[in-house]
């Protein structure tokens, strides 16, 4: 049997081939590792589910209301005019000052009226004295009955003339007929004022403070609905009064609460509207006569109503939507129909149910079908409507 004998040259060649094969294997492994690393770098890991804040859809007992524009007016307004003629001596107030009933606001030169009063007083004294003597003379048959009656008549005329002169003298001091806030003086001292009926000079105006009237017009349809509910006792009333709410131009949330005091006795045929008169407390004196304000008038019986945060509402072309979160933490697209606003929350007419969890923060980071990490929103301050019942815009 023959044996294979390796020569030195063959041995060297074999070693070279073996080293080349090892290098080739190492290079292939490195290439494969690089390819795997590159593939892994090009395929990013799935991002974590976005965190969102959710809140439950609320259900409250609400009554429909109509929002209308009202005009503030004082419960009492007086145009202060002169009652006697003469030169104005003094103006005794500052514009905008609060005055009390009976305060002297203007003084008209009293000298002429004082002289007329003194003259009437003297004539009345003589006439009364003659009337008293008439009884004695008549008892002694010194005068006739006709003369006695004439003396009594002259005494009565003198008393009337004295009372008139006294009134004219008192009218030289123009007093405030009501308590309230006085306007500016329309006539300054030194001017001649007229006190004749129908031509009396306007001196200033006074408006009362305290409670204020608010006048507003409602259309015929609203009035008919309101009247029907009132007859059926289905309005949310505080005692025998129907509550209403008001906000000024710089206010939100309708913080002022009043009641309907009366309605006009006829519908205006030109406008088809009826005027309501409402009373609002005015402790802070913010309801200045002449201001315009927004008023909410209830026109429906209280009923369960769904409310959702304004932050949860999105707009998709011409429709409104919210994203609700299901039990599997998946965001779901929900089309909704909305009503008015109740203290920052919107009324939901359809599309949601009470207790549904909707996204109120993070809506821009979420798409329908995505998985989210929901966090419950901190509960907001509960609504505190008047008379225990909230109201909702139509």
Overall size of the chain counted in residues: 394
Please give the angle made by the CA atoms of 164, 167 and 169, to the nearest 5 degrees: 110
Q: What percent of the chain has pLDDT over 90?
A: 40
- pTM of the predicted protein model: 0.64
pLDDT of residue 133: 74
Q: Give the C-alpha separation, 85 to 67, whole Å.
A: 49
Q: 106: Cβ–Cβ under 8 A, 6 or more apart, which residues?
A: 80, 82, 88, 90, 91, 92, 173, 174, 185, 187, 203, 204
What radius of gyration do the chain's Cα atoms show?
46
Rounded Cα–Cα distance for residues 147 and 262 (Å) = 60
Domains defined for the chain, CATH in brackets: 51-63+302-393 (2.40.420.20), 66-74+210-298 (2.40.30.170), 76-104+179-208 (2.40.50), 110-171 (1.10.287.470)
Average pLDDT over all residues of the chain: 83
Question: Which has more pLDDT, 22 or 317?
Answer: 317
Query: Lowest mean pLDDT: which of 40-44, 89-93, 276-280?
Result: 40-44
- Hey, which bits of 233-365 come out as E strands? 243-247, 256-263, 273-280, 292-298, 303-309, 314-316, 319-325, 331-342, 345-350, 357-361
pLDDT of 386 over the 50 cut: no
What value does the mean pLDDT take over residues 70-81? 96
Average pLDDT over residues 59-64: 80
Give the per-residue pLDDT at 17: 52
Q: How many helices (H) and strands (E) does the chain have?
A: 4, 23
| Integer Cα distance of 206 and 176 in angstroms | 8
Give the H/E segment covering residue 122: helix 111-139
Direct distance between the N- and C-terminal alpha carbons of the chain, in angstroms, rounded to an integer: 114
Query: 78, 77, 75, 68: which is closest to 213 by C-alpha?
Result: 75
Tens digits of residue pLDDT in 274-302: 999 999 999 999 999 999 999 988 876 67
Higher model confidence: residue 140 or residue 377?
377
Cα gap 132→129, rounded to integer Å: 5
pLDDT value, residue 361: 86
DSSP track, 239-272: TTB-EEEEE-TT--S--EEEEEEEE-SS-BTTTT
CA dihedral 36→39→41→47, nearest 10 degrees, is: -120
Is residue 351's pLDDT more than 70?
yes
Report, as an integer, the average pLDDT of 151-160. 88
Q: What is the pLDDT of residue 15?
A: 58
- For residues 70 and 260, is the Cβ–Cβ distance under 8 A? no
Bin 144: left if φ > 0, else alpha if -120 < ψ < 50, else beta: beta
Locus of tokens 């494969």? 32
Token pair belonging to 206: 């006074």
Instruction: Of 290, 284, 265, 392, give the one whose Cα is nearest residue 338.
Output: 392
Q: Which of 294, 347, 351, 286 is nearest to 322 (CA)?
A: 351
Name the residue with higher pLDDT: 38 or 162.
162
CA angle in degrees (0–180, nearest 5) for 345-338-388: 45
- Comparing 128-137, 176-185, 255-264, the range with the smallest average pLDDT is 128-137
Using the predicted structure, report yes or no on whether residue 98 has a pLDDT greater than 90.
yes
3-state secondary structure of 329: coil
Span 223-228, mean pLDDT? 82
């Amino acid at each position: 049997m023959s044996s294979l004998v390796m020569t030195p040259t063959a041995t060297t060649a074999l070693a070279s081939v073996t080293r080349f094969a090892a290098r080739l294997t190492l290079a292939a492994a490195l290439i494969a590792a690089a390819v795997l690393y590159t593939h892994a770098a090009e395929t990013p890991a799935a991002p974590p589910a976005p965190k969102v804040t959710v809140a439950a859809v609320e259900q409250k007992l609400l009554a429909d209301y109509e929002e209308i524009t009202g005009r503030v007016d004082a419960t009492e307004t007086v145009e202060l005019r002169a009652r006697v003629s003469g030169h104005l001596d003094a103006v005794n107030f500052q514009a905008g000052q609060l005055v009390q009933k009976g305060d002297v606001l203007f003084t008209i030169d009293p000298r002429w009226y004082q002289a007329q009063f003194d003259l009437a007083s003297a004539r009345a004294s003589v006439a009364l004295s003659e009337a008293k003597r008439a009884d004695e003379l008549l008892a002694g048959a010194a005068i006739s009955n006709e003369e006695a009656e004439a003396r009594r008549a002259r005494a009565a005329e003198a008393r009337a003339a004295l009372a008139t002169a006294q009134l004219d003298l008192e009218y030289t001091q123009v007093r405030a007929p009501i308590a309230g806030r006085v306007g500016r003086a329309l006539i300054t001292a030194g001017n001649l004022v007229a006190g004749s009926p129908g031509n009396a000079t306007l001196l200033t105006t006074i408006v009362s403070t305290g409670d204020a009237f608010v006048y507003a017009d409602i259309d015929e349809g609203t009035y008919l609905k309101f009247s029907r509910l009132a007859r059926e006792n289905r309005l949310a009333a505080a005692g025998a009064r129907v509550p209403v709410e008001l906000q000024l131009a710089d206010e939100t949330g309708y913080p002022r609460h009043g009641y309907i005091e009366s309605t006009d006795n006829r519908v205006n045929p030109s406008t088809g509207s009826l005027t309501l008169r409402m009373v609002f407390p005015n402790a802070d004196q913010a309801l200045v006569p002449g201001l315009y304000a927004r008023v909410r008038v209830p026109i429906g019986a209280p009923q369960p109503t769904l409310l959702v945060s304004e932050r949860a509402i999105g707009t998709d072309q011409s429709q409104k939507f919210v994203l609700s979160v299901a039990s599997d933490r998946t965001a779901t697209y929900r089309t909704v129909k909305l009503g008015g606003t109740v203290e920052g929350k919107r009324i939901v007419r359809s599309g949601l149910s009470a207790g549904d969890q909707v996204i109120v923060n993070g809506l821009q980071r979420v798409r329908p079908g995505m998985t989210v990490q929901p966090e419950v929103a901190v509960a907001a301050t509960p609504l505190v409507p008047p008379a225990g019942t909230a109201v909702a815009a139509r």
